[in-house]
Structure 1
Amino acid sequence: MEFIQSSELPAPAGHYSQAVAAGGLVFLSGILPSKDIAQDALFEAQCNSVFDQCEKVLRAAGCGFDDVVQCTAYLAGVEHWSAFNNIYARVFGEHKPARAVVPVPGLHYGFLVEVQLVARRP
């Protein structure tokens, strides 16, 4: 196993890695918006922050969004589903990884979105 840490992001505050590579795959831990995004920021701003961080971790692993094979998104409320679909389509373009969107009652720090990815190493 290889533990991956993007030099562009702060180290995790807890006992986990930003990502772990094993068996030709890269597993990104759940990523919340960065701490410089206010918890009351608009949903789109929170999603943009999450996907920006995902991109940095993927890059540190030698991957990009075109290498993502699976995405799990946790949304604080089903009312954000449509907005998430639009942002997700913009981020991934024609690439369509497997995906699960899980509405939850709440997320850490009061954020509205958390994303976890699995990518293949090219």
Structure 2
Amino acid sequence: MDHSKISTNKAPKPVGSYPHARRVGNLLFLSGVGPRTAGSDASDSGVPGLQLDKNGNFLAFDFEAQCRSVFDNVRVILEESGSSWDNLVDVTVFLTNMKRDFHTYNRLYADYFKDNQPCRTTVEINSLPTPIAIELKCIATID
């Protein structure tokens, strides 16, 4: 059985020692995907819609920009792995502020998943390892 590890320069670098995705048979498991831009790493922000002061306090925050960027990053990893957006079967969403961000997330999710509607779980967590407000964990099929 194929257990390929997949990494790409077209997505943000992982913040630890793990691949962007791993193929097991005809399933593709994505590691947690955040909104940082490709080429950025944990040492720089690289987060769309986010500006921090020298102490790490928010100067600007745009959750919608982060949400769109997460979806774009997931799509890139899927395609680089030989899968596609339409092959997503399960999405777990981690939000750092459910009250503030869920409505925006749910609206954008409905736009991005009009045709393919994978199973979905959304949970609120205290924080993520970088200054982001959303992360997705996905499972897709691969031909």
What's the TM-score, normalizing by structure 2? 0.79
What is the aligned partner in structure 1 of residue 19 from structure 2?
17
Give the match's secondary structure for 1:66. helix
Q: Does 1:114 align with 2:114?
A: no
Runs of 4+ displaced beyond 4 Å? none
Aligned length: 122
Match of 1:27 among 13, 26, 29: 29
Cα distance in structure 1, aligned partners of 2:124 and 2:15: 25
Q: Which amino acid aligns with 2:142?
A: R
Cα distance in structure 2, aligned partners of 1:61 and 1:101: 24
Identity %: 32
What is the aligned partner in structure 2 of residue 67 from structure 1?
87
Cα distance in structure 1, aligned partners of 2:4 and 2:87: 18
What is the aligned partner in structure 2 of residue 96 from structure 1?
117
Task: Tell which has more relative contact order, 1 or 2 (C-alpha 8 A, sep 6+).
Answer: 1
What's the TM-score, normalizing by structure 1? 0.91
Deviation at 1:101, TM superposition (A): 0.1
Q: Does 1:5 align with 2:7?
A: yes
More helix by share: 1
Cα distance in structure 1, aligned partners of 2:112 and 2:12: 23
Deviation at 1:10, TM superposition (A): 4.6
